[in-house]
Amino acid sequence: MLPFARVTIIGLGLIGSSIARAVRQHMPTVRVTGHDADPDVRARAEALGFLDDVADTAGASVIDADLVILCVPVGAMGAAAAAIAADLPHDAIVSDVGGSKASVIEALRTALPQATIVPGHPVAGTEHSGPEAGFASLFHGRWCILTPTDDAPEAAVVRLRAFWEALGANVEIMDPRHHDLVLAITSHVPHLIAYTIVGTASDLEEVTRSEVIKYSAGGFRDFTRIAASDPTMWRDVFLNNREAVLEILQRFSEDLTALQRAIRWGDGDTLFDLFSRTRAIRRGIIEQGQDDSRPDFGRAHE
């Protein structure tokens, strides 16, 4: 049996449109309604044809939904939730896909004090945004972390787990604060480092921009991909996961200082030991089948 019959997606960008496409592919009888605050995005989503209905208002989009997923930047979650408050059916489950969880949960709870809320975060994405960027296989073999608070009914968590599993994801339940710390090290600080290194390269006076482009080796190119990610989304992630990001950054800058010292004093052993440990981590990721660069990953499933 399908976990939901009428799904509403608010925010029709990369993640919202990927969920809609994936529902169409994996649960074709489920009706998917969408809404986006931007009329141009609504028109583009309608033309792309991955929804059954596009509603002009947030309220109209949820009127008979049994699952509502908020797919907007984390700083807009509170406003998106407030916009559906008056029309949300009392038995609907509300979820989200935000990349940080603790502050989003607080915003959703404030806007929807009576609703059943089961927050989520599919750990899958790209540097692209907008409805054209989505694809149905985005969640195949990727983790989706659910962070229900203690008051969430177990049945609601079970249904949302079944929903994500039907889209091809593996589901894990996690405490929201722990999620925010884990993602700070695995996703948020790496993005910050990419934004920094690409910014530093573009600010160098002795090296021209065309030299940076012409001679960019693999490592720098990988950083530029990540540093091309959506500015609104990432601004919001850093402002909303402030504590965990600052904690990890403190540790990171101490470790960077230690490496700086090793280079200054010609301490090759320290460099070699670290590079050996990090190589083992990369090999562990590949062994677990989590390597995005393998040719059969992501879009190749479509």
Ligand X SMILES: O=C(O)C(=O)Cc1ccc(O)cc1
Q: Is 131 in the site for ligand X (CB under 6 A)?
A: no
The single residue listed with the structure tokens 């089948």 is 289
For ligand X, the closer of residues 6 and 121 by Cβ is 121
Is 112 strand, coil or helix? coil
Q: Which of 5, 69, 68, 71 is nearest to 41 (CA)?
A: 71
Give the one residue of 3, 11, 34, 176 binding ligand NAI; rule: CB under 6 A.
11
209-228 residues near ligand X, rule: CB under 6 A: 226
Give the one residue of 95, 187, 240, 241 binding ligand X; rule: CB under 6 A.
187
Q: Which does 148 bind (CB under 5 to 8 A by kind): ligand X, ligand NAI, none?
A: none
Determine contact, residues 70/7, Cβ cutoff 8 Å: no
Closest approach, Cβ 94 to ligand X, in A, equals 19
CA–CA dist 112, 106 (Å, integer) = 10
Q: Is 99 in the site for ligand X (CB under 6 A)?
A: yes
Give the one residue of 7, 9, 41, 67 binding ligand NAI; rule: CB under 6 A.
41
Q: Is 125 in the site for ligand X (CB under 6 A)?
A: yes
Q: Which of 63, 150, 145, 69 is nearest to 108 (CA)?
A: 69
b/e for 78-103, b at 16 or more Cβ within 10 A? bebbebbeebbeeebbbbbbbbbbbb
Determine contact, residues 53/27, Cβ cutoff 8 Å: no
Q: Which does 241 bind (CB under 5 to 8 A by kind): ligand X, ligand NAI, none?
A: none
CA–CA dist 291, 249 (Å, integer) = 25
Closest approach, Cβ 21 to ligand NAI, in A, equals 12
Closest approach, Cβ 84 to ligand NAI, in A, equals 9
Tell me the site size for ligand NAI, rule CB under 6 A: 30
CA–CA dist 21, 15 (Å, integer) = 10
For ligand NAI, the closer of residues 98 and 201 by Cβ is 98
Q: Is 37 in the site for ligand NAI (CB under 6 A)?
A: yes
Distances (CA, A) of 192 to 224, 227, 238: 12, 8, 9
Q: Is 130 in the site for ligand NAI (CB under 6 A)?
A: yes
Q: Which does 187 bind (CB under 5 to 8 A by kind): ligand X, ligand NAI, none?
A: ligand X
Closest approach, Cβ 40 to ligand NAI, in A, equals 9
Q: Which of 43, 37, 90 is nearest to 65 (CA)?
A: 90
Longest Cα separation, the chain: 67
Q: Is 123 in the site for ligand X (CB under 6 A)?
A: yes
Give the one residue of 125, 168, 176, 298 binding ligand NAI; rule: CB under 6 A.
125
Q: Which does 166 bind (CB under 5 to 8 A by kind): ligand NAI, ligand X, none?
A: none
50-89 residues near ligand NAI, rule: CB under 6 A: 71-74, 76, 79-80
b/e for 271-294, b at 16 or more Cβ within 10 A? eeeeeeeeeeeeeeeeeeeeeeee
H or E segment at 202? helix 189-203
Q: Which does 226 bind (CB under 5 to 8 A by kind): ligand NAI, ligand X, none?
A: ligand X
CA–CA dist 222, 163 (Å, integer) = 32
Residues 54-93: x/- map of binding to ligand X (CB under 6 A)? ----------------------------------------
Tell me the site size for ligand X, rule CB under 6 A: 8
Binding residues (CB under 6 A) for ligand X: these are 99, 123-127, 187, 226
